[in-house]
Structure 1
Amino acid sequence: MDRLVYTAATGLKHIMDQQATTSHNLANVSTTGFRAQIDAFRAVPLQGEGVGLPTRTFVVSSTVGADMSSGPLQVTGRDLDVAVKGQGWIAVQLADGSEAYTRNGALEMNTNGVLTTANGNVIMGDGGPITIPPDTTVTIGGDGTVSAISTTTQPATPTPLGRIKLVNPTAQDLVRGDDGLFRLKDGSPAPVDPNVVVAGGALEGSNVNAIDSMVDMISLARSFDMQMKLLQNTENNEAKASQLLALG
Structure 2
Amino acid sequence: MADGIYVSMCGAVARAEQLDAVADNLANAQTPGFKAARPAFESFLAPGAAQDKRYAAAVATGIDLRPGPTQRTGNALDVVPEAGMFLTVRTAGGGTAYTRDGRLTLDPDRRLVSDGRPLLSPRGEPIVLPPDLEARVDAAGRVWAGDVEVAALGLARLDGPVDRVGPSLLAPGAGGRALPAEGAVRSGELELGNAGALEASIQLVSAQRAYEASLQAIQTYRQLDQRAVEVARVK
Question: What's the offset of the Cα at 1:54?
Answer: 5.0
Q: Deviations over 1:185-222 (max 9, x none)?
A: 2599733212x321111111111111111111211221
Judged with a 3 Å threshold, the aligned counterparts in structure 2 of structure 1 residues 247 and 187 are, in CA distance, closer, same or farther, namely closer
Unaligned runs of 5+ in 2: none
RMSD over equivalenced CA pairs, Å: 2.2
Q: Does the CA-based 8 Å contact 2:111-2:118 persist in structure 1?
A: yes
Q: Does the CA-based 8 Å contact 2:3-2:50 persist in structure 1?
A: no
CA distance in structure 1 between the partners assigned to 2:151 and 2:212 by the alignment? 56
Which one of the candidate residues 149, 159, 167 is aligned to 2:156?
167
- Alignment correspondent of 2:135: 138
Question: What's the offset of the Cα at 1:13?
Answer: 2.0
Question: What's the offset of the Cα at 1:129?
Answer: 1.5
Judged with a 3 Å threshold, the aligned counterparts in structure 2 of structure 1 residues 189 and 161 are, in CA distance, closer, same or farther, namely farther
Question: What's the offset of the Cα at 1:144?
Answer: 1.1
* Aligned residue type for 1:99: T
- Alignment correspondent of 1:215: 202
Q: Does the CA-based 8 Å contact 2:158-2:176 persist in structure 1?
A: no
* Aligned residue type for 1:132: L
Q: Deviations over 1:102-145 (max 9, x none)?
A: 00010111111111112x21100134211111222222122211
Judged with a 3 Å threshold, the aligned counterparts in structure 2 of structure 1 residues 189 and 67 are, in CA distance, closer, same or farther, namely closer
Which one of the candidate residues 126, 144, 150 is aligned to 2:122?
126
Q: Deviations over 1:85-117 (max 9, x none)?
A: 331100001233211000001011111111111
Q: Does the CA-based 8 Å contact 2:33-2:168 persist in structure 1?
A: no
* Aligned residue type for 2:59: S
- Alignment correspondent of 2:87: 90
Q: Is 1:183 equivalent to 2:180 in the alignment?
A: no
Question: What's the offset of the Cα at 1:56?
Answer: 6.8
Aligned residues between the structures: 234
Q: Is 1:192 equivalent to 2:189 in the alignment?
A: no
- Alignment correspondent of 2:193: 206
Give the alignment's TM-score, normalised by structure 2. 0.89
CA distance in structure 2 between the partners assigned to 1:159 and 1:188 by the alignment? 37
Any idea what SS the aligned residue of 2:35 has? coil
Unaligned runs of 5+ in 1: 150-157
- Alignment correspondent of 1:75: 72
Structure 1, 27-36 or 173-182: larger mean CA deviation: 173-182
CA distance in structure 2 between the partners assigned to 1:143 and 1:212 by the alignment? 34
Where does structure 1 differ by over 4 angstroms across 4 or more consecutive aligned residues?
Answer: 52-57, 186-189
Q: Which has the larger radius of gyration?
A: 1
Give the alignment's TM-score, normalised by structure 1. 0.85
* Aligned residue type for 1:113: R
Judged with a 3 Å threshold, the aligned counterparts in structure 2 of structure 1 residues 136 and 199 are, in CA distance, closer, same or farther, namely same
Judged with a 3 Å threshold, the aligned counterparts in structure 2 of structure 1 residues 224 and 117 are, in CA distance, closer, same or farther, namely same
Q: Does the CA-based 8 Å contact 1:3-1:57 persist in structure 2?
A: no
